[in-house]
Structure formats: structure tokens, C-alpha cells
Amino acid sequence: MKLAGVRPGRYPAGVELLVSDVPAWFVLGSAFVFGAIWGSFFNVAIYRWPRDMSVVRPPSSCPSCSAPIPFRYNVPILGYLWLRGRSACCGTALSPRYPIVEALSGVLCLAIAQRFMVNALDDTPLWRAGMTALAYFCFVGGLVIATFVDLEFMEIPDEVSLPGAALGLATSVFREQPGAEAAALGAGGGFLVIQLLFVWSYEHLTGRRGMGEGDSKLLMMIGAFLGWQGALFAVFAGAAQGLITFVLTRVTALFSPSERAPAPEPEPEADGGEEGEPAPDYWGHLKLPFGPFLALGALEYLFFGDAAIEAWFRLVQG
């Protein structure tokens, strides 16, 4: 079977294909389908890992009645639309997260294929470009899982960060950027910056943690793929965007009729309670997880690199 656009007889037997031998439409179309299919698995991981469930057994089943889901309803995006957002077995409403994650995964995979395959130099071996794209898709897949789990559970699964960091370090030998040394420095430095400053030191000074250990492990994965510069950018860009989101959410809450009632008066021991116990947070509904903003900063650096850094500097300088 021959791929359209591959010129027969151009290479003798045993000579590898180049990225220029495969048409861009085929690469991008395949990438979107591939990403959407894996988006279905990401949905399984998002649902099961926080609940300490296996992602392998049992097979896909209804989250309400546990009935097995037929293959025809597991088609990414289309299955949800076909069922009109309800399970076929018991009619329970399905979360819109399912098609969102599948579509997002497809688009991200397409963008990676464009960045690392279609835009690669014409003399780049196809296998090398494909392996690089696959490694980065595993990376962004981890970011997608971490984002949606953190949004719902305020935690980031170790099943994402630790294997992701190992994969980033292992694949740094054939990825052109950032290089093995920068990847190791980014992974170690990223973990220590968050762990020392925003977890241990902040907890020692205030009695509560500014960030969770999941954030430090996620930044370790980001640094392993993007190097120390990418990890640093993810921290500062993520913090800035998180702060903007928090302020907007806070202002919206203040002007919402349901939030105009005064906050409950703290009990006498609310400023500390028992020794070592932090005061209760009456604005807990406004707390935002930091993982999604770290992931957003990492994606901005992955796809835009120096242009993203320059854009943020111009924004800060006014």
C-alpha cells in the first residue's frame, strides 16, 4: 500500500522516509483522529485515577449504573452527540467533559503534528519527527489529565507527573530541545522551587501550604520536557493568569446576588484553633487550583516559545 504523495522509486530499499514525503493533510488528519481516540482514554484516567480505580479493568462502563458501554457509543465526540449527552442504558446525563476532552486532545495532537512534523525541515527522517511528536503528545496528554483532575478534586495524580517526568528525561536524547542537560536541570529545579518555596517554607511560615506537592511534581514533568526556561515561564505565566482569573472570579462573586450575604462570623478559635491547625477558609469556593495554570503556561511555551516570553514582557512593561 502506498501513501499518496510518496514518490515511488525515489529511494532505494532500506533508505528511510523523510517528513517531506508524506502530505501535510494526511499527517494532520491522522493526528486529530489519533488525539481524539486517546482523549477517550484521558477521560477514563480523569474519572478513575482520583478514585483509586484501574484504568484497564473493568472496561468502559456507565458511571451511574455500571452497565458496559457498547463500542458504537465509544466513538470519540460523535458517540456523545449520538446519545445527545445521555447514557443509553439508564438515561443519566453525561458530563460535557467527555467531548470537550476528546476534542481538545484532537486539536492539541494536530497542533503538535503541525509543529514537529509538518514544520520540520524537509530532510528530517519521518521516524524521528514522529517519535518527537509522540513524546510531546504524551506530555500534553498528561497536562490535560492533570488539569481536569485538579479542577474537580484539587489534586494532581502521581500517575501523571512521575511517569511523565521520566519520559521527558528519557526522550531528551533525541528531542532537539531543550537537550538532556537542560531537561535534567528543569526537572530538578522545577520540583525544588515549588517544593521549597511554596510548600515547605510557606507552610512553616503560615501554618498552611501555598501549593500542593502535586504542583511541584507537575512542574518537574514540565521541566523535563521544556527545560528550566519552560519551567520558569510556566510558573510566572501560570501565576499571572491564575491571579487574573482569581480576581475576576472574586469580583463576579461580590456582585452576585447569592454572594451578598455577609460571611459567617468566625468562632473564637478561628484564628488558629488547636495548635498547628490553620484557620478555616470561608472563601473556599473561590480557591483555584494552580495545576491548570501551570499547564496553560507550559502549552504557551511549547507552541510559542520565545514569542510567548516576549509577549509577556511587553504586557508587563505596559
Q: Is 238 exposed, middle or buried (0-12, 13-18, 19+ CB in 10 A)?
A: buried
Is residue 1 domain-resident?
A: no
Taking every pair of Cα atoms in the chain, the longest distance, rounded to a whole number of angstroms, is 84
Residues 168 and 123 in one domain: no
What secondary structure does DSSP assign to 257-308, as a single string? GGG-SPPPPPPTTTTT-STTPPPP-TTGGG---SHHHHHHHHHHHHHHTHHH
Residues 176 and 311 in one domain: yes
Residues 165 and 143 in one domain: no
Residues 107 and 243 in one domain: no
Q: Is the pLDDT of residue 8 over 60?
A: no
pTM of the model: 0.82
Total number of domains in the chain: 2
Is residue 9 domain-resident?
A: no
Residue numbers of the domain that contains 240: 156-256+283-318
Residues 166 and 305 in one domain: yes
Residues 217 and 309 in one domain: yes
Bridge partners of 68, per DSSP, are 61
Would you tell me the crossing angle of helices 158-171 and 213-255 to the nearest 10 degrees? 120
104, 133, 153: which is the final residue of a domain?
A: 153
- pLDDT: which is higher, 202 or 76: 76
- Non-local CB neighbours of 268 within 8 Å, separated by 6+ positions: none
Helices (H), 67-179: 78-82, 97-113, 126-153, 158-171
Specify whether the CB–CB gap between 194 and 149 falls below 8 A: no
Residues 68 and 174 in one domain: no
Residues 173 and 132 in one domain: no
Residues 249 and 139 in one domain: no
Is residue 33 domain-resident?
A: yes
Q: Is the pLDDT of residue 4 over 60?
A: no
Phi, psi at 68, each rounded to 5°: -60, 145
Residues 189 and 236 in one domain: yes
138, 153, 168: which is the final residue of a domain?
A: 153
Q: Is the pLDDT of residue 282 over 50?
A: no
Is residue 36 domain-resident?
A: yes
The pLDDT value recorded for residue 253 is: 73
Residues 224 and 196 in one domain: yes
127, 153, 179: which is the final residue of a domain?
A: 153
pLDDT digits (tens, 9 = 90+) for 96-148: 999 999 999 999 999 999 999 999 888 888 988 999 999 999 999 999 999 99
Is residue 170 domain-resident?
A: yes
Helices (H), 154-263: 158-171, 180-193, 202-206, 213-255
- Non-local CB neighbours of 252 within 8 Å, separated by 6+ positions: none
Q: What is the number of residues in the chain?
A: 318
Please give the angle made by the CA atoms of 171, 177 and 183, to the nearest 5 degrees. 60
Residues 118 and 180 in one domain: no
Is residue 7 domain-resident?
A: no
Is residue 276 domain-resident?
A: no
Is residue 273 domain-resident?
A: no
